[in-house]
Structure 1
Amino acid sequence: MSESAQKSYDYATADFNAVYRGGELLGDTGITRVPWDVGEPQPGVIEFERRGRIRGDVLDAGCGLGDNAVFLAARGYRVTAVDAASTAIERAVERAAGRPGGADIEFAVADATSLTEYAGRFDTLLDSALFHTLDADGRRRYAAALRRAGRPGAWLDMLCFAAVPGGMPEPLSVSEQTVRQVLTDAGWTVTELTQAVYWGVAEATRTFLEKTGTQVEIDDKGRTQLPVWSVLAERS
C-alpha cells in the first residue's frame, strides 16, 4: 500500500467491550480478536518484578484479561485489577479462577482516568499498555488519577507504545518527550525510561497493519514484537 493510501483511524473510538466479545475493535481494521491476548504476562511486567519494582498493594490499571495480575498475585503481591471494559473483567475473573493467586485478586470495572474510589491506596501502580490508548486529555487525567491512587512515594511502572521505527503508528504510539511531560505535569518523577518489547497477536492485527502501512517484527510464535517505552517513575 502506498504512503498516500495508508489509512488512519480515530483510536479514541475503539470499542474494547466489542473486541472482547469477538466484535470489531475499531472501524474496518479487521481486529476481531483481542490483539494483546498472548495468554501470559508481558515480558516487561516480568522484568519489573525481577528488578524489585513491585511492592505492597498493587494496582493493575487497564488489566485486560488479567494475565499480568495473576502473575503478580501468584508471587504474593496484593493486586487490584481494574478495566473500563466490563467484558474484560468478566473474562479475567473466569480466567483467574483456579490459577495460583487468582482468587485473591480484587477485580473491578473502573475508569482509570478517575480512580476516585481508590485514593491513596497503592504502593505500586502498573500500566501495561493503557496510556497510549488515550487521547491527550485522557492521558493527562489518567496520570493525575494514578498519582491520586498512590501512597506517598508510590512507584509507577509503565509500558506504552514507543513512537520509533518499527512501532505502531502515531498517535497510538507516543514520543519520549510526551511521556515525560505528561507524567511530570501530573506530579511524577521519571527515574528511568528505556525501550523494551511488548507482545501481541500478529494474526489479530494483520489487516490493520497492512492498512496503516505499519511493518513490525514478528517472532516464530506469531507474536508481534512491538517497541514500547519501559517507564519507571515515583510519586513526587
Structure 2
Amino acid sequence: MSRTSLPDQPAEYWEARYRDAGRVWSGRPNELLVREAAGLAPGTALDLGCGEGGDAVWLAGRGWRVTGVDISATALERAARHAAEAGVGDRVSWERHELGVTFPEGSFDLVSAHYLQSPVALDLRRVLRRAADAVAAGGTLLIVLHAGWPSWQTQPPFDAEFPTLDGVLDDLGLAEGEWTVETRETVRRASAAPDGTAGHRDDHVWRLRRA
C-alpha cells in the first residue's frame, strides 16, 4: 500500500475531507465526552475541532452555551444544521479557526479537545496550551487523543507520533498547584475495520480541573 499524498495546507485538506463526502461522523457525541462531562454543571463550553457538531449539540442539549470551532466551513455548516434540527441552535455559536494559527477569544467553564490529531500540519502542543489558558477559574480541561493506530491497521497510511499520558501533561506546562488531575488513563474501545473486522483502539484521556 502506498502512503497517501497530503496537501501542504491544513485548511485545504480538511475542507476537501468534508466537501467531497457525505456525513463523515455519526452525529452522536464522543463516548468519553459523555463519560467525563455528564456530571459537570452546565456553563460555557468550547469545543475544539467540533467537526459536524455531535459533541457541541450534546452539550447544548444539557444546558451548556457552546462555542464550536473547526477549520472546515463545510463541517461548520453541517454542525449548524444539526444544532437547529436538534432545537439547540440558539445555544451554540460557530467559529472557523485554523487552530495553532488563530484561536477563539474568551474563557470557558469547559474546554474540550477530542482527537485533535491531524495528518497535516498542526502544532498540537501549542493548541493544547492555548486550550488550557482558555479554561476559567474552577473550570475543566478535557483532552482525548488516540494512543496509537487501531489493532487492525497493519500498514499505517502516514507517519504519526502518538502522545503519552505523561508527555501531554509535561507539554501543557501547567503551573504547580493551579490544576488538579481528575482523570489520567488509557481506555480501550471497540474499533471495527472498514471491512467489518472486529478490533480495538486505545485512547488517552485527561480531565483537569483549574483551581
Asked if 2 retains the 8 angstrom alpha-carbon contact of 1:38 and 1:200, the reply is no
After TM superposition, give the deviation of residue 199 of structure 1 in Å: 7.5
Instruction: Output one character per residue of 1:180-229: Cα deviation in whole Å (capped at 9) or x when no partner.
Output: 2222x2556544211235677853xx6xxxxxxxxx845xxxxxx53211
Q: Is 1:57 matched with 2:32?
A: no
Identity percentage of aligned residues: 25
Match for residue 196 of structure 1 among 160, 183, 187: 187
Alignment RMSD: 3.4
- Worse-matched range after superposition: 11-20 or 149-158: 11-20
SS at match of 1:133: coil
Corresponding pairs, count: 202
Write the distance in 2 (CA, Å) between the matches of 1:116 and 1:18: 22
Query: Within 5 A, what are the aligned runs for 1:117-132?
Result: 117-119=104-106, 121-130=107-116, 132=117
Q: Which runs of 5+ in 2 are unaligned?
A: none
Match for residue 16 of structure 1 among 2, 14, 17: 14
TM-score (norm 1): 0.70
Q: Is 1:42 matched with 2:30?
A: yes
Higher relative contact order (CA 8 A, sep 6+): 1
Q: What one-letter code is carried by the residue in structure 2 that aligns with 1:194?
A: E
- Aligned counterpart, 1:234: 209
Q: What one-letter code is carried by the residue in structure 2 that aligns with 1:122?
A: F
TM-score (norm 2): 0.77
Write the distance in 2 (CA, Å) between the matches of 1:167 and 1:69: 30
Q: Is 1:148 matched with 2:133?
A: yes
Q: Structure 1 residues 40 and 202, CA, compared in 2 at 3 Å: closer, same or farther?
A: farther
Q: What one-letter code is carried by the residue in structure 2 that aligns with 1:180?
A: L
Q: What one-letter code is carried by the residue in structure 1 that aligns with 2:209?
A: E
Instruction: Output one character per residue of 1:86-114: Cα deviation in whole Å (capped at 9) or x when no partner.
Output: 11111111222121323321111123335
Q: Is 1:70 matched with 2:61?
A: no
Instruction: Output one character per residue of 1:53-72: Cα deviation in whole Å (capped at 9) or x when no partner.
Output: 46421111110000111111
Write the distance in 1 (CA, Å) between the matches of 2:68 and 2:96: 9
Q: Which runs of 5+ in 1 are unaligned?
A: 23-31, 207-215, 219-224
